[in-house]
């Protein structure tokens, strides 16, 4: 895959005929909408094709295949979307549109605000897409409140309100961006898409920007989702890495809330982060949401609460969204409902709790790679260290040049070598005379004297020569020598220099970047336990039907339940199934027992007395049914044909009753009446066969 903007498709043989050349993306359908960042939603339009391509589908006698042509076109298109639109680069943490926006803002930066519409127009010199996508990407950058200083209505990430039109809002680069993002001397440049301008390959950012801002993007065949992290924690992690210490990184969201990061998985695929809103009690009947989960808005949360209430999942009287600069959603709880249970229900049935799946995909060496957030930070810190070393090397070269120029000027003036120019009739003669005069002093210099050096000396003005202060010049040279020594020391101790740089950045810009998201482990909330009982369960035992629908209201009432409950259904022969409650369902004729099933419930005990087969022995058992596969049939008995449940009780608190059992009279039977105390039986698993009670028939 290549990033060459001027690349043209090589001609291909297509059934003996070369295919016409075209630019990247020609004739390829656009990817589906839904990308998170603005530039992921727009691609170059497919130009109309004519001529030889029309003839390919009109030839008589058969169908012509376009396999070879589409194979190469799609590969080019996929490469373009991955490298040039949707996935950020690991070195600067930016997508191309973001990089071009920042570069365009730097070119017009004069310290004052610029209209966003003007910034968009400036960016279009570098970005081959529409102005709408550039403006959306700029707004998203501005809402992160790190690189761009915004003025005007830039929308609200809490409520989801959009920003005003580009002609009404203004922006300029923040002081932080000017400090850490740009340096022309260490930037690698390339030609823009039309060849008229130069743009950076990557910006020399000396900060883990990708992890600070986060990133979303949908490409062809892969996606990237990197969560934002805390500014100060990132700097601490960079320092720890440079000093050889271990570190951990966890997300910190601008919307606050609480997060369970126990399955973060270093931001790689397969991980998940649960984020909850912060809900507090104002009084016994009033709740307030003051922080919301990342990826949600107050409007989406309000709508999810209303829908859950309409479906009967929760019971509330009223919900009001009073959000302005801070989140405030006020919920009035129903009079007959517990506020604690309502809070759990809000987490279970609304957007007050969301699960976010990270997928840290980045561009590295012109290819997509899946890297954990710690590896991304290590590479960012190492790259920052390299950039600082490069800046020091450039600075050292400039200081050496300054020392050489100052020393050469002092020699030229103090030894009155300018007098050698008198009488020279040509420039060449003057240059030669000065160069010859400098010969005895060249050993005092640190590099060779070039023709440019000599030319610069001959162009010194007489007033500068006449006012030359030797003592001042010596002091300036001494200061340069001290700076050279310090720069060499910093290069030799580059790690310590980089650590000091990070600490300086934290001290200068760290205020106001305290952690907003509280990290904690969440207790699991079972939806069935907090759901409101908004339905009634009925059963037709003879016909084998059960459900909560209107068609079942004439049947036998069983109990109150919710429409998300599971029910357990037994037949007389001991077969049972656990299934989700529905309007009307059929299991089998002769339903013996039906009730609401609670998964992982260890307290509910089933006391059973059953006959194994038609004339088999009588067995007794006590068991708990904690977890089974939904809609799979099980057997409470041994499974012998024509087995029958003689007695069964379902005890929510593990009660053990005593039965009085009457046997059928028969010769030599001493006891016709026997007590069966279930408390003497051990509680076993649902698959246990039970203990022998009797081989005689029960009356």
Q: List, by residue number, the catalytic residues.
A: 168
The CA distance from 108 to 100, in Å, is 13
The CA distance from 595 to 604, in Å, is 12
Task: Write the CB contacts of 629 (distance below 8 Å, at least 6 apart in sequence).
Answer: none
State CA 243 to chain mean position distance.
Answer: 28
Sequential DSSP letters for 265-287: GGG-TT--EEEE-EEEEEETTEE
- The answer to whether 242 and 379 have CB atoms below 8 angstroms apart is no
C-alpha closest to that of 498 among 382, 394, 395, 397:
382
Q: Give me the residue label for tokens 């076109």.
A: 73
The CA distance from 560 to 534, in Å, is 7
Task: Tell me the sheet residues that pair with 149.
Answer: 172
For residue 495, what is the enclosing H or E element?
helix 494-509
- The answer to whether 531 and 345 have CB atoms below 8 angstroms apart is yes
The CA distance from 672 to 669, in Å, is 7
C-alpha closest to that of 242 among 612, 475, 493:
493
Helical H segments across 82-157, by residue range = 96-107, 116-123, 131-143
Give the number of other Cβ atoms within 10 Å of residue 515's Cβ.
Answer: 15
C-alpha closest to that of 20 among 59, 67, 53:
53
The CA distance from 264 to 275, in Å, is 12
Token couple for 328: 């405030």
The CA distance from 106 to 86, in Å, is 23
Q: What's the CA angle centered on 554, arms 551 and 556, to 5 degrees?
A: 115
């Amino acid at each position: 895959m290549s990033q060459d903007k001027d690349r043209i498709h090589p001609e291909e043989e297509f059934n003996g005929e070369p295919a016409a050349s075209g630019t990247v993306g020609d004739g390829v359908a656009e990817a589906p909408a839904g990308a998170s960042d603005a530039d992921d939603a727009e691609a170059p339009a497919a130009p109309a094709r004519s001529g030889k391509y029309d003839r390919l589908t009109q030839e008589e006698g058969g169908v012509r295949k376009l396999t070879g042509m589409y194979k190469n076109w799609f590969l080019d298109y996929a490469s373009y979307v991955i490298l040039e639109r949707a996935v950020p680069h690991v070195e600067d943490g930016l997508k191309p549109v973001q990089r071009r926006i920042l570069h365009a803002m730097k070119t017009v930066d004069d310290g004052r605000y610029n209209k966003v519409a003007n910034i968009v127009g400036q960016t279009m010199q570098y970005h081959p897409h529409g102005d709408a996508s550039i403006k959306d990407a700029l707004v998203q950058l501005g809402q992160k409140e790190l690189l761009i200083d915004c003025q005007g209505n830039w929308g609200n990430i809490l409520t989801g309100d959009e920003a005003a039109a580009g002609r009404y809002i203004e922006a300029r680069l923040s002081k932080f961006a000017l400090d850490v993002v740009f340096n022309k001397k260490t930037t690698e440049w390339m030609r823009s898409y039309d060849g008229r301008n130069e743009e950076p390959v990557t910006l020399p950012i000396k900060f883990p920007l990708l992890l600070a801002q986060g990133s979303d993007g949908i490409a062809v065949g892969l996606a990237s989702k990197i969560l934002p992290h805390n500014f100060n924690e990132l700097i601490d992690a960079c320092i720890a890495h440079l000093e050889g210490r271990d570190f951990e990184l966890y997300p910190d969201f601008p919307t606050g809330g609480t997060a369970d990061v126990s399955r973060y998985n270093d931001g790689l695929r397969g991980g998940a982060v649960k984020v909850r809103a912060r809900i507090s009690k104002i009084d016994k009947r009033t709740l307030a949401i003051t922080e919301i989960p990342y990826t949600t808005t107050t409007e989406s949360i309000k709508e999810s609460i209303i829908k859950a209430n309409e479906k009967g999942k929760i019971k509330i009287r009223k919900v009001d969204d009073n959000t302005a600069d801070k989140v405030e959603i006020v919920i009035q709880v129903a009079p007959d409902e517990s506020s604690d249970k309502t809070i759990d229900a809000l987490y279970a049935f609304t957007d007050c709790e969301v699960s976010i799946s990270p997928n840290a995909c980045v561009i590295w060496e012109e290819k997509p790679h899946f890297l954990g957030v710690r590896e991304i930070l290590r590479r960012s810190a190492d790259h920052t260290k390299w950039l600082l070393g490069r800046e020091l090397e450039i600075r050292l070269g400039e200081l050496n040049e300054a020392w050489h120029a100052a020393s050469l000027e002092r020699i030229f003036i103090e030894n009155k070598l300018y007098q050698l120019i008198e009488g020279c009739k040509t420039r060449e003669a003057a240059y030669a005379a000065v160069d010859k005069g400098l010969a005895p002093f060249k050993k005092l210099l640190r590099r060779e004297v070039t023709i440019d050096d000599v030319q610069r000396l001959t162009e010194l003005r007489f007033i500068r020569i006449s006012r030359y202060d030797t003592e001042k010049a010596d002091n300036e040279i001494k200061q340069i020598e001290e700076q050279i020594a310090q720069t060499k020391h910093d290069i030799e101790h580059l790690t310590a220099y980089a650590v000091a740089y990070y600490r300086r950045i934290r001290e200068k810009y760290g205020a106001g970047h305290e952690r907003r998201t509280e990290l904690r482990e969440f207790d699991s909330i079972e939806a069935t336990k907090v759901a409101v009982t908004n339905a009634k369960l009925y059963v037709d035992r003879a016909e084998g039907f059960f459900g909560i629908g209107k068609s079942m209201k004439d049947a036998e009432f069983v109990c109150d339940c919710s429409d998300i409950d599971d029910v357990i259904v037994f037949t007389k022969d001991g077969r049972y199934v656990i299934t989700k409650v529905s309007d009307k369902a059929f299991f089998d004729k002769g339903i013996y027992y039906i009730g609401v099933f609670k998964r992982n419930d260890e307290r509910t005990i089933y006391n059973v007395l059953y006959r194994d087969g038609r004339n088999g022995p009588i067995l007794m058992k006590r068991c708990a049914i904690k977890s089974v596969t939904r809609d799979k049939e099980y057997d409470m008995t041994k499974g012998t044909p024509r087995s029958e449940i003689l007695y069964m009780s379902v005890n929510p608190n593990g009660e053990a009753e005593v039965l009085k059992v009457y046997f059928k009279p028969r010769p030599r039977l001493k006891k016709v009446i026997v007590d069966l105390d279930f408390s003497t039986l051990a509680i076993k698993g649902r698959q246990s066969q039970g203990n022998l009670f009797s081989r005689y028939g029960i009356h």
